[in-house]
Structure 1
Amino acid sequence: MKGQYTTGEIAKMAGVTTRTIRYYDNKGVLSPSSHNSSGHRLYTESDFIKLKRILALKYLGLSLEEVKNTESQSFEKKDIINSLSLQKNIIKNKINYMKVVLHAIESAENSIEDEQNIDWNKTIDIIKILEDEKELLQQYIDSSNLDASVKLQDRFSSNRHGWYKWTFNNIKLNKKYKVLEIGCGNGALWSKNIDLLDKDINITLTDVCEDMVNNAKKNLSDYSDVFDFEIVDPNNIPFEDESFDLVIANHILFYMKDLDKVLKEIKRVLKVGGHFYSSTIDSNNMKELESLMKGFNSNIKISEEKISSKFGMENGQEILSKHFSQTKRYLYEDKLVINDSKGILEYIYSIPGNIIELVDTKKKDFEKYIDLNINKHGNIYITNNQVLFESIKL
C-alpha cells in the first residue's frame, strides 16, 4: 500500500462513497491526516484502519456521536461480541417480519392468478385479513423470539422449578400414551426433561413453522425413536378422530385466529377420557418490562393487543369449558429477577412489534437506558405468572 490516499481512493478501498468520507470529516469522525497543495484531503494507512473501525461500529448500531465517544472510552472484545449478538437478534426479527409481509403478498398474488378478472374487493380483503394477523403470526413463527424467551426463563426465573420442569411434573404421562403437541416450538418442554421421560412413549411434535420443527428435531436428534415431527396447521390437524391419549398446547392458543375451530380439532383427535393440557399467561405478565421500555419511548408496543385477552389466565377456563367437561387450573407463580442488561436486551430485541423500528437509530441510547435502570435498582423484577389448564374429554 502507498503512503497517502485521496478521498476517492480511500472510499473505493472501503467500499463507500466519497460523499460518506466527506460527511465523516465534516462530523469530526474521520479527519484527513493532511491536504495536498490544491487543498484536497489526503488519508494515511492508519486513517484507513480507523475508517474500517468506524464502519464496523456503525454496523453494530452505534450512532456517529457514539462512534466518536469510543475514541475516549474502552470498547473491548466482549463489547463487540455483545453488540454482534444483539444485532443478530435485530436482523432475525426484521427477516421474520419480512417473511410475514411476503406471505401476505404471495397469497394476494395467488388469489388474483386464480381469478379470470381482478376482484379488487376480494384482494383487499385478503391483504387486510393477513395484515390483521401480522402481529400474532410474527411472534408465533419466530424461533429466535422463542429461543430468547427460553434463555430468559432459564437465567432469571426465581421459581426454583423453572417453567418447563414445573409443567412436565404437572402433566400426567403414561408410557403407553400417544401424545400430540401442538406448537412444539424448539422442543424445550421435552429437551429439558428428557432424563425424566419414559423412552417407550410415543410423542408427535408439530408446529406450523418448518423452522420450528427443524429446531425441535435438531434438539431431540438423539431420541428419534421417541419423537415424530410434522408441520401441522392447528386449524386442520391431519390425524384421525380419537388418535391421541394426551394433547399439549404450550403457550400457543392465544395466537390462534379462530380459537374455537382449533379447540374443536384438538377435541376431535383426543380419545374419550383423554387429557388436554394448555398453558397461558395472566394479564399482568411482563408488565414491568413494558413500562420500562415505554419509559424510553412511550410509543413502544409489545403487540397491538394483549394476547392474554384472547386466551389468558382470567378467561381460559371459561373458553375451555365450551369444549371439555372438566378443567382444572394449576398456577405457576414467578418473578424474573433481572440483574444483567445483556440478558434482557437479547429478549427485547427478539420481541415482535415496533420496538426495533423505534430504537434502531438510538440503539446505544436505549441500551444505556436499560443499563442505568439495572444499576440504579440493583435488580429489575418482572411479573412472570403463568397457568396450566388440565382438561378432560368425557
Structure 2
Amino acid sequence: MHLPKKEGINMKEKMTSGEIAKQAGVSTKALRIYDEKGLLKPVGHSDGNYKLYDKSSLIILEKIIALKHIGFSLEEIKCSLENYEQSSIREILEKQLEMMDQKIYELQKAAKCIESALARFDENPDWDDIADIIRKMEMSQGADERRWYAAEHAADGIEWYEKIFNSLSFEENDTVLDLGCSYGLLWRKNWDRIPKGFNVLGVDIHGNWAADLYNYLEDNRETLPEGSDIQIFFSNLEKDETWEKIREKKYYKIIAHYLLSYLHDDAYFIQNVAQVLAPGGMFSVNHYGEAVKEYNFWEKCLTEASLDISFALKKRQERRQADAEFEALLSENFDRVEKIALPGPLAFDSTDALFDRMQMKYPEGGKYLEDNRDAIEKYFATVLLKDGSVTVDMDSTFYHCYKREG
C-alpha cells in the first residue's frame, strides 16, 4: 500500500470530495460510503453545497485506508476511530493481528474439512456422506481445541495422555486395538514407554488425523522396541465389512477414547467390540457424562452469587441419565465394568477465563449467564480470585470393561 506523500504539497485549507479523494488515492464513491457509515463526515459545505474537508479529514481518511488494507471491516474501523483516545496504535494492531490469526485458523480448519471429504471420493459418497464427514471433522477439530485449552490451564503439569497410558496397565506382548486412533497421542506421548512385543492395530477413516499418524509411524517405526509394531487400518467403524476384517483375530486390550460422539449407533459399536475382545481382556472407553466435581464447583459458585441454578441442575440430571444408560449398555456386553476417574484440575487466573469456562460447561444457559455476567464476575473477583488464581478440581471418567477368562 502506498499512501500519498504530503511533502511539498500545498494543501488548501478546505478541499472538495474530488480533491481529497485524489489526494488520498480513493474514489469519491468510497468517500460517500465512509460518510454514510459515519467514518468520515465533511467539515462543512461550499456555497454550491459541495462537501468540504480539511487537513484533519485527510489524516482520518489515511487511517481508514490503512486499517481497511490490513483487514479491518468498516464497523471495526468506526469503533477504532470512536475510541481513538482509549486505544493505542499498538493495541489496535495487536488486536487486529489476533483476529486475523483466528480467521486464518478457521480457514485452515475449513480447508482440512474439504480435504477430508475429497479423501473419501473413491467410496462414491453422496451429499449426506459429505455432510457427515465434514461434521465429524469439525468435531475432531473441536476436540483438538479442547485439548489445547486443557493443556493451557492444566494445574498439575502432568501430560494428559501419560495419565491415560498409566491407567491402562500395558504389558509386554499385549495385542491392542485402538479404535478411532486419530492423531495417536496415546502412542506419541509415550513412545519411549511402549513395551516389547507390543502390537497395535489402529482403525480410523480416511482423511482424518490418522493419516498424519500413519506418516509418523513410517518415519519412526524402527525405533520401537523389539517385536513391537503399530499399524493403521483405514476403514469405517460403522460398516459391517470393517468389523469382518477386525474379527479375524482377538485383542487383549481395546481402546475407544473420545470416539463415541462421532458414531450413530453406540449399541452396534459396543456389541462388535465385545466380540473381538479376548477372554481376560479389557476394553477402555469414555463418553461425555456427568462431570461430578466440576458441576459441584459451578453450582456452588452460582448459589453463593445468589443466582438461579435450575439450568445447571437440569444439565446434571441429563448427563447422569446418559451415564446410567451407557453403563447399562456396557453391562449387557461385558462381565465386569469399572469406572476409573482420572484427575485433570484446571487453573484460572482471571474472571474472563472463569466465565468462559462456565459458559463452556453450560451452553444451554448461555443467555442467563450473559445477562448476569456482572454478578458472576464480581463473585469470581471477590471470592475465588481474591488471593490469586483458583483451581477447579475435576475428573474425567473412563470405563474399563472386562471379559472373564474362558
Partners of 1:184 and 1:206 within 8 A in 2 = yes
Q: Structure 1 residues 100 and 216 mapped into 2: Cα distance closer, same or farther (>3 Å)?
A: closer
Structure 1 position 70, deviation (Å): 4.8
The residue that corresponds to 1:82 in the other structure is 98
Percent identity between the two aligned chains:
15
Q: What residue number does 1:192 align with?
A: 189
Report if the CA contact (8 A) 2:255-2:284 is conserved: yes
Counterpart in 1 of 2:329? 319
CA, structure 1 residues 18+73, in 2 after alignment: closer, same or farther (shift >3 Å)? closer
Alignment counterpart, residue 39 of structure 1, candidates 35, 50, 62: 50
1:270 aligns with 2:274: no
How far off its partner does 1:247 sit?
Answer: 1.4
Distance 1:57 1:369 in 2: 35
Q: Within 5 Å, which residues of 2 pair with 1:1-394?
A: 1=4, 6=18, 20-24=33-37, 26=38, 29-31=39-41, 39-40=50-51, 44=58, 47-53=61-67, 56=70, 58=72, 62=76, 64-65=78-79, 68-74=82-88, 75-76=90-91, 78-88=94-104, 110=126, 138=135, 141-159=138-156, 161-198=158-195, 200-208=197-205, 210-217=207-214, 222-224=219-221, 226-236=229-239, 237-238=242-243, 239-241=245-247, 242-284=249-291, 287=295, 308=319, 312=323, 314-339=324-349, 377-378=384-385, 379=389, 382=392, 384-394=394-404
Q: Residue 168 of structure 1 aligns to which amino acid in structure 2?
A: F
Q: Which ranges of structure 1 fall in alignment gaps of 5 or more residues?
A: 103-108, 112-125, 359-364
Deviation for aligned residue 1:320:
1.0
Distance 1:223 1:291 in 2: 48
Distance 2:374 2:26 in 1: 34
Contiguous gaps of at least 5 residues in structure 2: 7-14, 119-124, 223-228
Kept in 2: contact 1:182–1:247 (CA 8 A): yes
Supply the AA of the counterpart residue of 1:207: D
- Secondary structure of 2:254's aligned partner: strand
Distance 1:183 1:101, change over 3 A: closer
Q: Are residues 59 and 91 of structure 1, via their aligned partners in 2, closer, same or farther at CA, if it must alter by over 3 Å?
A: farther
CA distance in 2, matches of 1:369, 1:138: 36
Quote the residue 2:121 is aligned against: none
Aligned length, in residue pairs = 352
TM-score (norm 2): 0.63
Distance change (3 Å), C-alpha of 1:341 and 1:321: same
Partners of 1:369 and 1:51 in 2: CA distance: 41
Query: Are 1:60 and 1:83, in contact at CA under 8 Å, matched by a contact in 2?
Result: no
Is contact 1:152–1:347 with CA below 8 Å preserved after alignment? no
Partners of 2:109 and 2:360 in 1: CA distance: 6
SS of 2:246's equivalent in the other structure is coil
CA contact (8 A) 2:174 2:197 kept: no
Q: Deviations over 1:18-54 (max 9, x none)?
A: 5542234x2xx44568878762365647623433325
CA distance in 1, matches of 2:51, 2:261: 62
| Counterpart contact for 2:177–2:202, Cα < 8 Å | yes
Query: Contact 1:185/1:213 (CA < 8 Å) preserved in 2?
Result: yes
Q: 2: CA distance between counterparts of 1:345 and 1:60? A: 30
**Secondary structure, counterpart of 2:208 in structure 1:** helix
Per-residue deviation, 1:369: 11
